Amino acid sequence: MTQLELSEKGLHVPLGGYVAYFNYFWLRDNCPSAWDPDTQERSFDILEEPDDLKPISAETSDTSLSLMWPDGHQSVYELAWLARWHRGENHGDIAVRSRKAWYGDHYSKIGRFSYTDLIAQPSFVADWAEALLDEGIALVTRMPNSNDGLQSLCELIGTVRASFSGYSFDVFSKKNPENLAYTAKALELHTDLPPEELAPGVQFLHCRINDATGGDSLFVDAVAVATEFKQRYPEYFKILCEFKTPFRYTTVDHDVRARQHIIELDPNNGEVSGISFSQHLADTFDFSQEQMDDFYPAFRKFGQMMQEPKYLMRFRLNAGECVVFDNHRIAHGRAAFDEGSGDRFLRGCYVDRGELRSKYRVLRRLHPVA
Ligand SMILES: [Fe+2]
């Protein structure tokens, strides 16, 4: 046992070749006994401790640090555990994975998963979740032609989350439509619902009928575009990361508004994690007119880059397929179709990305890659 010197707010602990500093409140708050063994929640209350909290003694062995607190409580920490937190590794997170950028030729390589396999085997769900984390998009085939089929697929990842339009949405066009609920016009590349404070995370688009001519689905990996945008136009990139752009959606019943960064960075590693982009839901930009001089060229250049054929994956979504994608990473759109040529019906819904990562952590631990 080695006696340690206690300073006012913390102590320095030798950790095999270097010395690391730890704050007393942090140490007391993270005593192994602070956690409920059944629920794994913290049951200790750091707010009740005195302002001048300080152990009365501290000593280390080869493998542990032992502290005695004024109230008689003893805390013992493994040095390896302390070293991990000092290095910033925290709990470790298998869901923080390198995103694999993809380009316009990705369709033949896109991850494909059969609905029946996914329902039958959780290890396939782990593979599917991994594809969504890495590439942001995957195709599910052999879907049942039912609303329940889509719901069951979503629930393999998490709970269906509502948007202001409800728990699901239908995109349909009939050969002889009684109303023009949706047009057959092209839909520009966008992410869904940036006017929502937390825009939907994972989007499911289940194709139930596609007998119309045209209407190809369009997808772009914003990680690929924004990463190259950063190299080509670093000043523009900075603007789109920093300006919080207003979005708005209004109907008789709704007036939904939020501000988003057009390019989003991953707080874990600073890499591009996605975008919020929708010209039809962008509100009137309200930056100063001088800032518009900087913002518009950056915004326009980024939007133009997204449309470059190099990035644009285009394919026909067939009945029985469900495309699943990260709505914060993958911009999507649709080519125009011939409204009189046949029926077209897609049903969509969303699950939050936090649920995707949670499900992945749990399932991958149970079903490691062979
Ligand atoms: Fe959309």
Q: What would the pLDDT profile of 261-313 be if each residue is shown by its tens digit?
A: 999 999 888 899 999 999 999 999 999 999 999 999 999 999 999 999 999 99
Separation of 294 CA from ligand 1 center, angstroms?
Answer: 28
- 100 is a domain residue: no
Residues 110 and 71 in one domain: no
- The CATH number linked to 132 is 3.60.130.10
3-state secondary structure of 152: helix
Residue 69 φ/ψ, nearest 5 degrees: -95, 160
**CA distance linking residue 195 with residue 30, whole number of Å:** 39
In a domain, residue 101? The reply is no
State residue 182's pLDDT score.
62
Say how many Å lie between the CA of residue 192 and the centre of ligand 1. Answer: 5
As a whole number, mean pLDDT of residues 315-341 equals 93
For ligand 1, the distance from its centroid to the CA atom of residue 161, given in whole angstroms, is 16
Distance, in Å, from the CA atom of 186 to the CA atom of 89, rounded to the nearest integer, reads 46
pLDDT at 177 over 60: no
Contact predicate 367/359, CB 8 Å: no
- Asked whether residue 243 is domain-assigned, the answer is yes
Q: How many separate domains does the chain show?
A: 2
Give the model's pLDDT for residue 175. 61
Closest C-alpha among 240, 234, 157 to residue 203: 157
Q: What is the pLDDT of residue 2?
A: 74
Residues 125 and 31 placed together within one structural domain of the fold:
no
Q: Encode pLDDT of 24-39 as tens digits.
A: 999 999 999 999 999 9
30 plus 179 within the same structural domain: no
Same domain, 245 and 172: yes
pLDDT at 346: 94
Q: Per-residue confidence at 181, pLDDT binned at 50, 70, 90?
A: very low
Q: Is residue 99 part of a domain?
A: no
Strands (E), 174-228: 187-190, 202-210, 213-214, 217-221
Convert the pLDDT of each residue in 196-222 to its tens digit. 999 999 999 999 999 988 889 999 999
Same domain, 112 and 82: no
The Å distance, Cα 191 to ligand 1 centre, comes to 6
18 and 112 housed in the same domain: no
Domain that holds residue 164: 106-366
Write down which residue in 57, 86, 115 finishes a domain. Answer: 86
- What is the percent of the chain where pLDDT is above 90? 84
Alpha-carbon 290 to chain mean position: 33
Specify whether 270 is located in the same domain as 238.
yes
How far is the C-alpha of 279 from the C-alpha of 281, rounded, in Å? 5
Please tell me whether residues 338 and 245 are part of one structural domain.
yes
Q: From ligand 1's centre to the CA of 37, what distance in Å?
A: 44
77: left (phi over 0), alpha (psi -120 to 50) or beta: beta
- CATH for 78: 3.30.2020.30
Residue 128 within any structural domain of the chain: yes
Of residues 324 and 166, the one with the higher pLDDT is 324
Is the pLDDT assigned to residue 185 strictly greater than 80?
no
Q: How far does residue 261's CA lie from ligand 1's centre (Å)?
A: 18
Residue 121 and residue 65 share a domain: no
- Whether 97 maps to a domain, the answer reads no
Q: What are phi and psi of 207, to 5 degrees?
A: -85, 115
Q: Do 6 and 51 have their domain in common?
A: yes
Q: Are residues 61 and 139 in the same domain?
A: no
pLDDT of residue 325: 98
- What pLDDT, on the 0 to 100 scale, is given for residue 92? 87
161 found inside a domain: yes
- pTM for this predicted structure: 0.91
Same domain, 199 and 81: no
Q: What is the pLDDT of residues 331-354, one digit of tens each?
A: 999 988 887 888 889 999 999 999
pLDDT at position 194 is 97
Residues lining ion ligand 1 (Cβ < 5 A) are 192
In the chain, % of residues over pLDDT 70: 97
Examine the fold and report which residue of 86, 121, 142 is the final residue of a domain before the chain moves on. Answer: 86
Which single residue is written with the structure tokens 């192994």? 32
Q: Cα of 205 to ligand 1 centre, how many Å?
A: 9
* 130: pLDDT strictly greater than 90: yes
Two tokens at 226? Answer: 């924004």
DSSP code of 318? P
The tokens for 165 are: 């339009």
Distance 153 CA to ligand 1 centre (A): 19
State the distance between the two ends of the chain, measured CA to CA, in whole angstroms: 43
| Model confidence at 180: pLDDT above 50 | no
Final residue of a domain: which of 31, 57, 86?
A: 86
Ligand 1 centroid–CA 217 distance in Å is: 11
In a domain, 36, yes or no: yes
Q: Evaluate if residue 1 carries a pLDDT over 90.
A: no
